[in-house]
Amino acid sequence: MAITANRYVTDWVEECRELLQPDRVLWIDGSPEQLESLRQEAYRTGELVALNQEKLPGCVYHRSALNDVARVESRTYICCKRQEDAGPTNNWVEPEEMKARLREIYAGAMKGRTMYVIPYSMGIVGSPFAKYGVEITDSIYVVVSMAIMTRVGTDVYDALGDSPDYIRGLHAKAELDEEKRYIVHFPEENTIMSVNSGYGGNVLLGKKCFALRIASCLGRDEGWLAEHMLILGVENPQGEVRYVCGAFPSACGKTNLAMLVPPQAWREKGWKCWCVGDDIAWLRPGPDGRLWAVNPEKGFFGVAPGTSEKTNPNALATTRKDTIFTNVVLKPDGTVWWEGLDKNPPTDALNWKGEPWDPSDGSKGAHPNSRFTAPAENCPCISKEFNNPQGVPISAIVFGGRRAKTAPLVYQSWDWAHGVFVGSIMASEKTAAAEGKVGETRRDPMAMLPFCGYHMADYWQHWLDMEEKLTNPPIICNVNWFRTDDQGQFQWPGFGENLRVVEWVLRRAFGEAEAVETPIGYMPRPEDIDLEGTGVSQETLQELLTIDPDLWKAECRDIRAFYAGFGEKLPEKLRKSLDELESRLG
């Protein structure tokens, strides 16, 4: 029985039922009893494995198919009417043609299965920031994951009333056939369709699909920003909390920064850090002319390998209860392990594929993209403002990437428009872990390349247009924790020590710190960053704050080539920022 009278929901569910032909439809209400009975059912079929309830209460284990372990950008589409609206960085197919293609794959795909209908909210139900969604799926893993990552419950239907204003998301595992795998967005129809995958990033439709790709289009139309950003609160010894948002491509320590532990000497002085979000920020101009941020999610979908007591104790603590582990090592005592957790790989465990694993044979036990799906409220440093429907005021935005030589430790843009330029030229050098040539740079503007639901140049223009609504905008900076010396050794210790840089950024935002002008922007003087206890010398810091004009001239040529790909739509202000940068470099 439908648990909502909203016709826009019931008609659509009926339409999907006719197409996919499930044996039954189950309306998810989000109650603990219903979720528990679904987990029990999934234990029986093997879709989930119960973990050791004494050591990991409420935790479960899941394996995805071997061919289905990551987001598939090559199979991800933005299907708006005009190709030019999707832009050169998105895959596009004409919407009706795509729907016909998908209908064939969906036809009968839930025969013998149950169709689950999940009502969920991104943001606090009833808040001015909140947006609602309904996801249809045939996966219990998706139901229980959505219940961690989003706010699932019948109150979503109450808040929606009889309005059509919700995002439709249709997911079917089908045959998990990678040749027929599609992650498709119809931004003009508020619809997402995902098929032939069971991997979180492709099927938890509230996350990348809704909260970034679809929401970026909603933000463009409604005057706000949906960003791939962490939100961090920094509390000084006087008890004042200042908030920063940060965008980083993958493998740049974004989750670690979101849950940063201050250096010991700073903790002793009373510094504290609070996590509001680790992945997505929805940003709106407030009536006070500041930019206000909420994290629309309710959980963390974090990469497990590399997470340890040393690198990120807060993330690790978050996963000790009510967490779903995917594609990690399963130990015989019903606990889990992954590379980088500690130095003691288990010898009698199953690897992520479910095979007996011998750590000495050189193979990895956990998949490099294995994940934990954990409630944000488990996090020891979760912000008191996490559930504040108004969000938090943002004083600074930091963009970052992994650059061995080019980018300094930190620099501040001249103003908002120049900050948009700084975000648009974000880049990261490939590490051995990623596909492609080591050292090759991949431009990833605002870390949104795979997540912007419309033409990237229109998105930059939208960023530029936001300035008008912000009488008190955040400052915009760029950071780089990954500078190396001539021997290839990192020059900056990173992790908790990054607070020393963030603190300068936040003092700049309040006009409390000095800076010098350089060709690329404002930079701290070495004495502006507290090095005590880092082991970093003044000379090294000086090097970290020095730029090589020749590298930057080459960088400008590369940016020009990158910008050329956006044609006529490239905003004039960005072209001008590039020209000015080149002329300052001489």
Nearer to Mn ion, 45 or 74 (CB): 74
Task: Identify which of 296, 285, 132 has the alpha carbon closest to the alpha carbon of residue 208.
Answer: 296
Least distance between ligand OXD and beta carbon 450 (Å): 8
Least distance between ligand OXD and beta carbon 428 (Å): 12
Nearer to Mn ion, 138 or 279 (CB): 279
How big is the site for Mn ion, counted in residues (CB under 5 A)? 1
Which positions ≥6 away from 347 have C-beta within 8 Å? 358, 359
Task: Identify which of 176, 227, 165, 220 has the alpha carbon closest to the alpha carbon of residue 202.
Answer: 176
From the list Mn ion, ligand OXD, none, which binds 127 (C-beta under 5 to 8 Å, kind-based)? none
Least distance between ligand OXD and beta carbon 145 (Å): 13
Nearer to ligand OXD, 412 or 428 (CB): 428
From the list Mn ion, ligand OXD, none, which binds 206 (C-beta under 5 to 8 Å, kind-based)? none
Nearer to ligand OXD, 230 or 425 (CB): 230
Nearer to ligand OXD, 71 or 455 (CB): 71
x/- mask, Mn ion, residues 244-283, rule CB under 5 A, reads: -----------------------------------x----
From the list Mn ion, ligand OXD, none, which binds 201 (C-beta under 5 to 8 Å, kind-based)? ligand OXD
Which positions ≥6 away from 376 have C-beta within 8 Å? 275, 277, 278, 295, 297, 298, 299, 300, 318, 382, 386
Nearer to Mn ion, 194 or 577 (CB): 194
What is the spatial distance between Cα 583 and Cα 54, in angstroms, rounded to a whole number? Answer: 64
Backbone φ and ψ of 74, nearest 5°: -70, -20
The token pair at 489 is 């050794």
Which positions ≥6 away from 532 have C-beta within 8 Å? 265
322 near Mn ion (CB under 5 A): no
Catalytic residue among 252, 379, 381, 452: 252
29-34: long-range pairs with CB below 8 Å, 24+: 29/3, 29/153, 29/154, 30/119, 30/147, 30/152, 30/153, 30/154
Task: Identify which of 288, 212, 240, 144 has the alpha carbon closest to the alpha carbon of residue 454.
Answer: 212
Answer for the pair 193, 102: CB distance below 8 angstroms, yes or no. yes
Least distance between Mn ion and beta carbon 225 (Å): 16
From the list Mn ion, ligand OXD, none, which binds 300 (C-beta under 5 to 8 Å, kind-based)? none
Least distance between Mn ion and beta carbon 481 (Å): 17
Position closest to Mn ion via CB:
279
In the complex, the residues that contact ligand OXD under the rule CB under 6 A are: 71, 201, 250, 279, 301
What is the spatial distance between Cα 384 and Cα 136, in angstroms, rounded to a whole number? Answer: 32
β-sheet bridge partners, residue 350: 330, 356
From the list Mn ion, ligand OXD, none, which binds 385 (C-beta under 5 to 8 Å, kind-based)? none
Least distance between ligand OXD and beta carbon 279 (Å): 5
Angle CA 135–140–143, to nearest 5? 40
- Is 556 designated active site? no
- Which residues form the catalytic set? 252
**Binding positions for Mn ion, rule: CB under 5 A:** 279
